[in-house]
Amino acid sequence: MNPAKRHEIFSRLHAANPHPATELEYSTPFELLVAVVLSAQATDKGVNLATRRLFALANTPEAICALGEARLAETIKTIGLYRSKAKHLIAACQMLIERHGSQVPAERAALEALPGVGRKTANVILNTAFGHPTMAVDTHIFRVANRTGLAPGKTVLEVEKKLLRTVPEEFLVDAHHWLILHGRYVCQARKPKCPECLIEDLCEYKYKTPAAPEAGKQKHSARTARSPTLRPNAGGGKR
Ligand code: SF4
């Protein structure tokens, strides 16, 4: 994709949503870290329901350690993989207390050293809590980047690196949120909403969903399909 097209895509996403934000609810970097760790294979809505319960009880590393693994697991049990997530969170909280003065570190290596935190989670924290220009490629961004032609790639790391190289600098900090929201609500996996997509004319996807036919035309084509006599030149005569 050429740079002018790429710039136009992000200009439109920016114009439609100048201040994109995560849909996870949080009020501190630590709460965001907890929410992102819990969000693996869970919806943001489901995570928010669980963190509302959890943060009312405990929203610091010390308080979560004091809660203990069993009670933590019980509190977040509406979320998939809650047992292993509870285990990781307790271990991560202990490490935050011991090594980082109970603060969430703003460095990738320190974040990725925390139990339950991988590259994608670290990217989200660095971007959303600290404003770093990182690209946390999830299933939505991976799909949108490939379909549109913005950053085609076979692996999430390949897509991440291409996006970081090619997204215009002025859009880099927010690009991650625009692409996630676009994938979640418009460029959906099974049936992208191409006719209502604001970058439809710039997107390079070959199999865009067509616009619904107008009501009159739809009736006409249904009728013509049923009745051979109504088809143009149905009898096979001269035109
Ligand atoms: S035109 Fe369709 S495939 Fe392309 S970004 Fe929009 S919704 Fe996705």
pLDDT tens series, the chain, 239 aa = 999 999 999 999 999 999 999 999 999 999 999 999 999 889 999 999 999 999 999 999 999 999 999 999 999 999 999 999 999 999 999 999 999 999 999 999 999 999 999 999 999 999 999 999 999 999 999 999 999 999 999 999 999 999 999 999 999 999 999 999 999 999 999 999 999 999 999 999 999 999 877 655 544 443 333 332 222 233 333 33
How far apart, in Å, do the first and last CA atoms of the chain sit? 45
Fill in the DSSP letter of residue 210. Answer: P
Residue entry with tokens 């869970």: 42
Q: How far is CA 54 from the centre of its chain?
A: 23
Task: Decide whether any atom of ligand 1 lies within 6 Å of the 148 Cβ.
Answer: yes
Instruction: State yes or no: is 44 an active-site residue.
Output: no
Q: CA 236 from chain center: how many Å? A: 54
Q: Which of 120, 154, 219, 238 is catalytic?
A: 120
The rounded Å distance from CA 11 to ligand 1 centre is: 16
Q: Right CATH number for 3-19+135-196 from 3.40.50.1450, 1.10.1760.20, 3.90.1150.10, 1.10.1670.10? A: 1.10.1670.10
Ligand 1 centre distance from Cα of residue 184 (Å): 12
For a mutational test of ligand 1's pocket, the pick from 139, 143, 194, i.e. the residue with the most ligand atoms closer than 8 A to its C-beta, is 194
- Global pTM reads 0.83
Question: In the structure encoding, which two tokens stand for residue 71, read together?
Answer: 């009670």
pLDDT recorded at residue 212:
79
Q: Is ligand 1 within 6 A of the CB of residue 187?
A: yes
Determine whether the shortest distance from the Cβ of 204 to ligand 1 is under 6 A.
no
CATH 1.10.340.30 segments of the chain:
29-129
Residue with tokens 């739809």: 218
The one catalytic residue among 5, 77, 87, 138 = 138
Q: Which of 186, 198, 201, 206 to mutate to test the pocket of ligand 1 (most atoms within 8 A of CB)?
A: 186
| Distances in whole angstroms, Cα of residue 42 to Cα of each of 108, 131, 197 | 23, 24, 26
pLDDT of residue 216: 53
* Domain(s) of CATH 1.10.1670.10: residues in the chain: 3-19+135-196
- Write down the pLDDT at residue 148: 97
Two tokens, residue 14: 């920016």
User: Does 211 contact ligand 1 (Cβ within 6 A)?
Assistant: no
The SS3 assignment for 174 reads: helix
Q: 5 C-alpha vs ligand 1 centroid, how far in Å? A: 14
Q: State the CATH class of domain 29-129.
A: mainly alpha
Active site residue 120: yes
Q: Return d(Cα 36, Cα 8) in angstroms, integer.
A: 30
Dihedral sign computed on CA atoms, order 130, 96, 121, 45:
negative
Cα 225 from chain centroid? 42
Q: Is 194 helix (H, G, I), strand (E, B) or coil?
A: helix
Q: Tell me what pLDDT residue 215 has.
A: 58
